Structure 1
Amino acid sequence: MIKQFTKLKNKNILITGGAGFIGSNLCETLLKVGAQVTALDNFATGHQHNIEAFLNKENFSFIEGDIRDLETCHKACQNQDFVLHQAALGSVPRSIEDPIRSNAVNIGGFLNMLVAARDAGVKRFVYAASSSTYGDSEALPKVEENIGKPLSPYAITKYVNELYADNFFKTYGLNTIGLRYFNVFGRHQDPNGAYAAVIPKFVMQFMKHESPVINGDGTYSRDFTYIDNVIQMNLLAITTDNEEALNEVYNTAVGDRTTIKDMAEQLRGYLSAYDAEVKNIEIKHGPNRQGDVPHSLASIEKAQNKLNYKPSHVFAEGLKEAVDWYWENLG
């Protein structure tokens, strides 16, 4: 992947949420290609240890700040060629418990970043959208042009982001690309906390010999997407020369789905290679979770055709790499 994006060498790239899961992985890859990387984070959900290895690099700088502060956004966008906007308050349950904060960060902060990018003359603004935008649409696979009604405050905020991005192109000429992430997982994803994503949460529970609890009967399915596929999509979005690819929204996924039950059983199998006791840990079930979409499967045809996207990892390959990383770093 590195060789493919060497044209980004010496380009100034701002990554908001740069100390978070996806943001820190983007920092790492862009530093390797020789870009001048600036990360912005307030450590609400990101972590200092995710960027520790970058702090002594000449082509990395860090701004501790909040996207809800417009002045901070203006400072961060100065002299930037591209913005990769990853900063947000994720989690459907968190948004249901605290919709006001989710709205302030995900919509207010997003608007601040758009304004700052516009004022700074940023060439392209690539942002993290969400598969939650498909809402109550039951059609499979999910196609970008057909969405339903959002099922959570979080989903509403991510849809509003898409509307604002489209408007800023039409009104101010700011080129944007939205990436609708589908259940991203991989190295650096936080396994702790009340809003931890399901894969790292289950990994840690298995490693502690605790029974993971699946919401519902386990037949809900997800297009689990390994972090390397997401990095590829972000870099394609800022390097594409296809004018028709700009100011669009793209599914960022693999184009396949796995049930939660099968995912948990594969996890148990991979971890058993490190710890034989894991294979005997029971997988339990609880009630369905409010706001959850039953099934998620993306069409990636648009990304393939317009961005030349070619997923590098299917689910099983990504899960094995993620398990290896967690065992090495947290085992």
Structure 2
Amino acid sequence: MNEFNVIDKYFIDRQTQRRDVLLSIGDDCALVKAPENTAIAISTDTLVAGTHFIADAKPAWIAHKALASNLSDLAAMGATPSWVSLALTLPKIDEHWLAEFCDAFYDLADYYGVQLIGGDTTKGPLSITLTVQGFVPEHRALARSGAKVGDWIYVTGNLGDSKAGLDVVLDSATRSRPYSKELEERHYLATPRILAGQALLPIASAAVDISDGLISDLKHILKRSNVGARVDVDLLPTSPELREFLADRQLSKQYALSSGEEYELCFTVSEENRGALDSALAHCGATYTRIGQIRSGNTLELQSNGKPVDWQLEGFDHFEEQVV
């Protein structure tokens, strides 16, 4: 089987054609058309075997993680997903691997209404590059630069599970701990908060998805908005499974701060808009938790029981960390 056989068998005619896709896979370029009065949100991410996943991980999990991580970027902007292109580099053509990968990829893409419109396949070390695109009303996209002093800081979901799941991937000794299997699955099978991002469009002042760890990603908001923040670590939401897995309350909070690839949202809301959160997020399938407040200055202060804590924590750095 050669490259063109792979494309024909696994990537052509797998999805219903969207009305805004004029020409899809099979030509030199795809042709698409955006609705009037919308901006197009575009994000590209690469996942590399040995950095973002182990090469022998389940192909379905790799596919889900690759697409979910990209969709999470759209969620952070409040965008509605539309199209995706895929560049897939494989060490060899493995039909069993491709079948599992593509089935999971298309399941998730169809769930969010995303159409694969093009890409590339080539031989080399296993890696996956996706470019996702979506629509957002003009001049209304959520950005990292809108936080103001006095705004409240929130996160969706629970934090720390992905880091614990990575522990299970890397250290077989942790598989005997409670909920190790569940946490490993959560590391790969995150839920992008698309509906929450859309609901936050008229409410949030700034947002970012948590891909490199809350302690790193919140600092992106602070830098772009030229503000500081105080976070109460006692308020950080963690799952019962994480707490039992670690059996250490303080460590679970540290995981919540530093865990990368969570793909939850961190966002800020003014005092005026706080009352609208319950109704806005009621049907989004995600809980949310207030964890702190935006302050003047340019530093991030962590506190517990009203006192500063000095935890030397960092998020995920793609040039320093690897999963194998």
Length-normalised TM-score, structure 1: 0.28
Give the TM-score of the pair, scaled to structure 2: 0.29
- Higher relative contact order by CA 8 Å / sep ≥ 6: 1 or 2? 2
